[in-house]
Structure 1
Amino acid sequence: MAFRKALKRTAIVGGGAVAAVFGLSQLIEYRKTQAQLAHVAAEAELKVPFADELPSRQAQLAALQNTEEFDVLVVGGGATGAGCALDAVTRNLKTALVERSDFSSGTSSRSTKLIHGGVRYLQKAIMKLDYEQYMMVKEALHERANLLEIAPHLSAPLPIMLPVYKWWQLPYYWAGIKMYDLVAGIQCLKSSYVLSKTKALELFPMLKKDKLVGAIVYYDGQHNDARMNMAIGLTAARYGAAVANYTEVVRLLKTNDPLTGKERVCGARCRDVITGQEFDVKAKCVINATGPFTDSLRKMDNEETQNICQPSAGVHIVIPGYYSPDNMGLLDPATSDGRVIFFLPWEKMTIAGTTDTPTNVTAHPIPGEDDINFILNEVRNYLSPDVEVRRGDVLAAWSGIRPLVTDPSSKDTQSICRNHIVSISDTGLVTIAGGKWTTYRSMAEETLDAAVKAHNLSSEPCKTVGLMLEGGKGWTPTLYIRLVQDYGLENEVAQHLAATYGSKAFDVAKMAQVTGQRWPIVGKRLYLVIILYLIYGPLQCKCSLLYFI
């Protein structure tokens, strides 16, 4: 009798497990199908022509100067600004975008390279019953899924390990990570799971063994942030936006509204940084998407306006690849001062960061030695004593300035919510501030919705959900094999081109083929940068690196 009951219980549990696995697989298939339908629907609804040939910078500058009036002028070529330009132009609005430096040369290229909802924010949402932070995580997880779908060549899911060194933390962290999966719903990349100490060390052998209880692995997305930013901007240009870098806003143009009699912003005086030429760009609406420099442009509109951004420096370091496995990240959820540190594989190297320190706004932030040493000390805490973590192993470091929205009651930037705000001044200047990389698209949608309403623009609804970015359409994981076969490229070079340019890699390979030289394209880029450095100095060299990498 007892045997029959045990057998029955086993059958029920086993059947339930099979049903759960089947249900999860069906949800994943459903998600894939819905994503494919979203791509088709997004492109089918567009009433904007798609250009096969990208216009040159000279042609874009001519369009800025010769167009009588744009519907929207976006200032700032980071992720948010490029996202606003793409959203605007696909709504069939006449769109312009100007960036005073190179696209993604600022904060948008100095991130942790993650597309994530924010495990830490979900923890705060639950512990403090903060509905706003919960909705921010939910929105970010939706945007994470969308970004992975529209730019598959530049992004991919990444497993991240959370090591556990106290028994009571195992169920606590497990519950939190499972909640992260549940909030993602059908957009969960892969289900999280628990690892024993032995299995954790097998997957992450350089992890500290002493007192290790086990680990939990969850999934987030990883992307090439600089190239992703470029892909958004290029896609906007393909759909007809006039996009120009090294074009600085000198001042805002204003006029009196004949209907209200009030002064309103009607464009900007711009300067070509390369030639020094100045010209006016007229627009019905100007959008301020300048990130850390948000308040600078707002003060061009009104000198007495109060600052709304509190800049925070996020420092990352690059150390050799042997510090981490090829395809497994690490999360330190509770550092010595309460911050979170990620430890991630990147381009056969390892990225460690980030810090969260109040800072001053500067065009070229420099990582401080204190921040670098703080990260190194945290790395030491999680790695085996056999692995000597040395200051000399730091191959590179960068500092990105996050434009956090100021909370007057907050004493430090760690407790500031990474949410964004959209504000419209008395003169009609639209400002988008705050937020994070993952939610650039939804931020742009909200910004354009507000701009269309405030300026009474004739516009289509937002169409950027499921809209493939430059190089994403037609890309497959095996595309690099065709590059090897058709152009005789080395395997590593072909993989680099496919992962950087997606389906546009064939165009790059054709350009290289014209030279008739057989040495690797990676070598060509390095050779060209060295020449530029010798001729023009470090500034031009830096710009070239951003362009060619």
Structure 2
Amino acid sequence: MRTRSIALSRIESETFDVCVIGGGATGAGCALDAQLRGLKTVLFDAGDFASATSSASTKLVHGGVRYLRQAIAELDVGQYHVVRRALRERKLMLHNAPYLAKPLELLVPCFSNYEVLYYRIGMKLYDWISGKSLLFPSRYVSREESIRRIPALKPEGLVGSVAYADGQFDDARYDIALIQTLTECGGEALNYARIVGFEKASDGRLMAAQVQDRISHRRLTVRARAFVNATGPFSDSIRQLASPGIEQRLRPTKGVHILLPVEGFCNGDALLIPKTDDGRVIFAIPWLDRLLVGTTDDEATLQDEMVVKREEAEYLLRHLNRYLAKPLTTDQIVSGFAGLRPLVSSAGARNTKKLIRDHEVELDKGTGLISVLGGKWTTYRAMAEDATNAVQQYLGGSVAKCITRHHPLSGSQGWTPGFGEALATGYRVSPGTTRHLSEKFGAGAKKILDLAKQNSHLASPLVEGLAPIQAEIVYSIRQEMAMTIGDILARRIGLQLFDWRLAIKAAPVVGSYLAQELDWSRTQMQQAVEDYINKTNRLLQTIGLRPEHVDLEHAG
């Protein structure tokens, strides 16, 4: 990825075929698809790439077991098609970035023979819908093996479990890989660049976007032949910017997740809680040496603060603890996150848990704005294909063949499952560090280790005893357009999701590197550190945990 200043300079001097608004999964997928079809493409995000919905997922690449259950119970063909399409896309996601996505086996605990029969039939149907995209078949797992694989399971009354396959991935890093791939293919991308207005031709069609650069505080005009609105839950805002007064289409919902120590789930197997009191499902998934538990699904607005509240954490733990031998408590929570989902309501839908996760590509015939509404991470590529087809039809040319089905993402070339182990023999860092780098950056991990080789100080751990090293900070700034402490700790390295308190401890170190690389003053650096610590302490406090006290006078 180009540095931000170079990218900004190139964007200002060009006219584009396609301008994509939104740098999350859908936007990044659309921009890559368009660029690969020969359309000169630029992408903007008002914040950091994947800084909202696209880094707040359950980290699953899945068809959606709950959607299948709803399809059967309500004879809903729409939900069935959502599941079928997602299961086809699941395998492509795993194939195109194998260092970021992998198969995962989930266990559904059963406490009666009826439950065993019910879930076996359901999961066999899930297998059947997968067709040739099946990862591996579902199966019955005995009581003894279930407890051996998930020692935390409550043994009382347990008959056994039904195991089935889905995928798991690092959502933020997957999005960064999409952006990296886009720029490697000649496209342009810029974060912290908000669309604040449009210019229209005499016939009312969009011809340029007014972009506010939030870093330099400059405003630029970017001309393009087509504009794609891929801003997820914020899509109505862009639609109304292009066509004031247009009807709103989205009903955002809020989903929260909490992270806890992974003890009792240390074998890598995940747990599906098949039904909550209000008819939802909850996942408990080992993820990057933590136990990820989620999610909720409640109506929300764009103005709601995206934090995990104590009552939301208690809801998740209350349902999970019914299946555990030893209950987990809110005091054990080390991190969490919340995000909005861009759901489009179906006719007559009242409850958010019944909203369809399918997508729609909308063409505003008056302005030409193409909006991608709804959808989910697993189907990002299919959504992008539909949107790019719509772009080419709008531009009046023939629809070129989409090639993203089998297009490896940046970091995949040359990567193998043993890549991390191989790196450990050539660099003076721990095997844990090379494994971490391999799982985050793929083949790009070698570039980070080369930085550490040139400057031994960069081989130092970001936090003593943990795998991340300081070279990752420099690489993220120089090669991945990271501009803030949160960009690095939350989305590039992932330490914020691993442990809020450790992220606070690392903030002054990250701030000092940002100051060096971006030419910040000491005052700017201290303010950035203070802002990050205050924001993270807010996350601790809203979930009911004590804040972390830091001597800000000596930070950095």
Q: What TM-score do you get using the length of structure 2 for normalisation?
A: 0.84
SS in 2 for 1:322: coil
Q: How does 1:458-477 map to 2 (within 5 A)?
A: 460-477=400-417
Q: Find the residue that maps to 1:96 and give its secondary structure.
A: strand
Query: Could you say what secondary structure the match of 1:296 adopts?
Result: helix
How far does residue 208 in structure 1 lie from its aligned partner after superposition? 1.3
Q: Which residue does the alignment assign to 1:218? A: 164
1:515 partner amino acid: N
In the alignment, does 2:307 pair up with 1:366? yes
**Native 8 Å contact 1:343 1:352 kept in 2:** yes
Deviation sequence 1:488-542 (CA, Å, 0-9, x none): 2211000011111111111111112111234336252536226467452355679
Amino acid in the other structure paired with 1:477: P
Task: Name the Cα RMSD after superposition.
Answer: 1.8
Cα shift readout 1:235-258 (whole Å, capped 9, x = no counterpart): 0111011111111111112111xx
Q: Secondary structure at the match of 1:379?
A: helix
2-structure distance, mates of 1:192, 1:81: 34
Runs of at least 5 residues in structure 1 that lack an aligned partner in the other structure: 1-53, 257-261, 545-549
Report which stretch shifted further, 400-409 or 468-477: 400-409
Distance 1:430 1:117, change over 3 A: same
- Counterpart of 2:357? 418
Which residue in the other structure is 1:25 paired with? none
User: TM-score when scaled to structure 1?
Assistant: 0.85
Give SS of 1:404's match: coil
| 1:164 and 1:214 in contact (8 A); partners too | yes
Q: Which residue of 2 aligns with 1:390?
A: 329
**Are the equivalent residues in 1 in contact too, given 2:427–2:453 (CA < 8 A)?**
yes
Q: Pick from 491, 500, 514 the counterpart of residue 440 of structure 2.
A: 500
* Distance in 2 between residues matched to 1:195 and 1:472, nearest whole Å: 34
Q: What do the CA deviations read for 1:313-338 (whole angstroms, capped 9, x no partner)?
A: 00000111114233100001111111
Residue 380 (structure 2) pairs with residue 444 (structure 1): no
Question: Is 1:70 aligned to residue 11 of structure 2?
Answer: no
The question of whether the paired residues in 2 share the 8 Å contact of 1:326 and 1:348 is answered with no
User: Which residue does 2:93 correspond to in 1?
Assistant: 147
Alignment of 1:401-416 (within 5 A): 401-416=340-355
- What secondary structure, in the 3-state scheme, does the structure 2 residue paired with 1:309 have? coil
Q: Is the 8 A contact 2:393 2:399 kept in 1?
A: no
AA partner of residue 184 (structure 1):
S
C-alpha spacing 1:87/1:486, structure 2 compared with 1 (3 Å): same
CA contact (8 A) 1:75 1:289 kept: yes
* Distance in 2 separating the partners of 1:365 and 1:543: 12
Query: Any conservation in 1 of the 2:511–2:528 contact (CA below 8 Å)?
Result: no
Shift of 1:447: 0.6
Is 2:291 the counterpart of 1:299? Answer: no
8 Å contact kept, 1:153–1:499: yes
CA contact (8 A) 2:60 2:167 kept: yes
* Matched residue SS, 1:397: strand
- 2:494 aligns to what? none
The verdict on how the C-alpha distance between 1:91 and 1:435 changes in structure 2, with shifts beyond 3 A counting, is: same
Q: For residues 253 and 111 of structure 1, what CA distance do their matches in structure 2 show?
A: 35
Q: Which amino acid aligns with 2:322?
A: N
Structure 2 gaps of 5+ residues are 463-467, 474-505, 515-524, 537-556
SS of the residue corresponding to residue 286 of structure 2 reads strand
Of structures 1 and 2, the larger Rg is shown by 1
**Per the alignment, do residues 394 and 436 of structure 1 end up closer, same or farther by CA in structure 2, a change over 3 Å counting?**
same
User: Contact 1:146 / 1:466 at 8 angstroms: preserved in 2?
Assistant: yes
What's the secondary structure of 1:269's corresponding residue?
strand
AA aligned to 1:55 is R
Q: Following the alignment from structure 2 to structure 1, what is the Cα–Cα distance between the partners of residues 446 and 111?
A: 49
Separation of aligned partners in 2, 1:276 and 1:543: 23
Letter of the 1:445 partner, please give it: E
> What is residue 2 of structure 2 aligned with on the other side?
55
Is the 2:414–2:443 Cα contact (8 Å) retained in structure 1? yes
Distance 1:272 1:59 in 2: 14
Relative to structure 1, the CA distance from residue 192 to residue 138 in structure 2 (aligned partners, 3 Å threshold; closer, same or farther) is: same
How does 1:245-284 map onto structure 2 within 5 Å? 245-256=191-202, 262-284=203-225
Give the 3-state SS of the residue equivalent to 1:283 in structure 2: strand
Letter in 1 for 2:6: A
Verify: 1:330 aligned to 2:248, yes or no: no
The answer for the alignment partner of 2:25 in structure 1 is 79
CA distance in 2 between counterparts of 1:379 and 1:448 reads: 41
Distance in 2 (alpha carbons) for counterparts of 1:542 and 1:133: 42
Structure 2 counterpart of 1:190: 136
In structure 2, C-alpha distance between the alignment counterparts of 1:464 and 1:542, rounded to whole Å = 41
Instruction: Specify which of 319, 331, 334 is matched with residue 378 of structure 1.
Output: 319
Find the partner of 1:178 among 124, 132, 145. Answer: 124
Give the 4+ runs in structure 1 shifted more than 3 A: 530-535, 537-544
Match of 1:510 among 423, 447, 450: 450
The number of equivalent residue pairs is 483
Structure 1 counterpart of 2:369, from 404, 413, 429: 429
**What percentage of residue pairs aligned between the two structures are identical?**
36
Match of residue 529 from structure 1: 510
Q: How far apart in 2 are the matches of 1:474 and 1:90?
A: 21
* Matching residue of 1:34: none
